[in-house]
């Protein structure tokens, strides 16, 4: 089986990570590579690590360039995917790594992103109940945000089992690559190194409605979310801490059993041995989420900590995982579970 794949937005971090993974995929032939302002340049100028593709010239991101491929990955800025996807036929599997098709509620889209809601596609976290069935043979897939991927997997089992009240606090530390490759003063090394800072505080981050959507679906009732992202002086990785008040006398052992039951068959989600806590360095380059949990009896809260590589499981790896499902391939094909350490 040979799958011809195009990547739009190939010069960015998500596009580069997609290509790194696709180069190791045994069923993939890499076709068109496109970009916006970097069209006409060689891929190697932006991703010198991708030696097999270094001399490929990036084309303009147009439907004409992308047609004729079996799969098109859209690693584009928010608001740019819908128009391109609308020009591609149903015979092409289109996987959007941006936010255009993640939200179900049109009012949420208009509030957080502006403009007309472009519609909702099957949501690309296969580990959620019922998700695999929706993703198999889907020709349109919305890849989640990097924060929602790890934070949803960290707390969905607790909400689904009724272990906690529907009032979740999420504090997530992220590396700078999550903000993309565009030049921004607050991401300069002189600003980031030796410092940690918050942003999008007080419900101002665009991933908040996605977390509310996912948590409410898991709980079967509306869930409130207080989400605070923290920028840390590292390139990639997310460490999320999720907590909520306990319902009843839940013990750590009882909560742990819920998580082990939920994820025991999952190849990419790992509940760590007792006493071992997630760290971002263990997930770098891997399509994995590491989890650990405990009950804080004094505060009467469940605490769940999760780690992922925001560019791999949080974006590109999750996208390739969804492609495998859509095309009927083994879900793990071409996806690493071993991180790069030290």
User: Angle at Cα 291 formed by Cα 289 and Cα 297, nearest 5°?
Assistant: 160
3 state SS of 88: coil
The H-or-E segment that residue 159 falls in is helix 146-160
3 state SS of 52: helix
User: Angle at Cα 313 formed by Cα 39 and Cα 238, nearest 5°?
Assistant: 100
All residues at 6 or more sequence positions from 46 whose CB lies less than 8 Å from its CB, including other chains:
10, 11, 16, 38
55-64: long-range pairs with CB below 8 Å, 24+: 58/10, 58/11, 58/33, 58/34, 59/32, 59/33, 59/34, 59/35, 60/34, 60/35, 61/8, 61/9, 61/34, 61/35, 61/36, 62/34, 63/87, 63/88
User: β-strands 238-245, 167-174: how paired?
Assistant: antiparallel
User: Which residue out of 97, 146, 242, 322 is catalytically annotated?
Assistant: 146
The DSSP bridge partners found for residue 301 are 245, 296
Asked if 322 is an active-site residue, the reply is no
User: β-strands 301-308, 289-296: how paired?
Assistant: antiparallel
The H-or-E segment that residue 191 falls in is helix 189-192
Which residues participate in catalysis according to the annotation? 146
């Amino acid at each position: 089986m040979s799958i011809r794949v195009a990547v739009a937005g190939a010069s960015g971090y998500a596009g580069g990570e997609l290509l790194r993974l696709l180069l190791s995929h045994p069923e993939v032939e890499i076709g068109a590579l496109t970009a916006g302002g970097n069209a006409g340049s060689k891929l190697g100028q932006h991703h010198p690590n991708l030696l097999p593709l270094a001399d490929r010239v990036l084309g303009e991101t147009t439907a004409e360039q992308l047609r004729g491929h079996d799969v098109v990955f859209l690693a584009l800025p928010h608001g740019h995917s819908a128009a391109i996807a609308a020009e591609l036929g149903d015979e092409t599997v289109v996987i959007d790594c941006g936010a255009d098709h993640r939200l179900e509620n049109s009012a949420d889209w208009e509030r957080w992103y502006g403009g007309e809601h472009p519609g909702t596609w099957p949501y690309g976290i296969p580990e959620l109940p019922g998700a695999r069935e929706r993703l198999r043979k889907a020709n349109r897939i919305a890849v989640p945000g990097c924060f929602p991927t790890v934070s949803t997997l960290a707390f969905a089992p607790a909400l689904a089992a009724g272990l906690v009240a529907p009032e979740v606090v999420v504090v997530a530390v992220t590396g700078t690559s999550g903000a993309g490759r565009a030049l921004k003063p607050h991401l300069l090394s002189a600003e980031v190194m030796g410092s940690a800072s918050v942003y999008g505080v007080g419900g101002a981050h665009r991933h908040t409605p996605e977390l509310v959507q996912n948590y409410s679906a898991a709980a079967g009732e509306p869930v409130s979310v207080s989400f605070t992202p923290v920028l840390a002086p590292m390139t990639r990785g997310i460490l999320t801490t999720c907590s909520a008040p306990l319902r009843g006398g839940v013990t750590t052992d009882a909560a742990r059993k819920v998580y082990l039951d939920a994820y025991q068959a999952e190849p990419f989600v790992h509940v760590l041995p007792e006493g071992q806590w997630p760290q971002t360095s263990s997930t770098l380059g891997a399509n994995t989420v590491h989890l650990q949990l405990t009950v804080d009896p004094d505060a009467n809260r469940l605490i769940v900590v999760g780690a992922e590589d925001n560019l791999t499981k949080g974006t590109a790896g999750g996208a390739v995982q969804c492609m495998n499902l859509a095309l009927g391939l083994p879900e793990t094909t071409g996806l690493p579970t071993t991180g790069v350490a030290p």
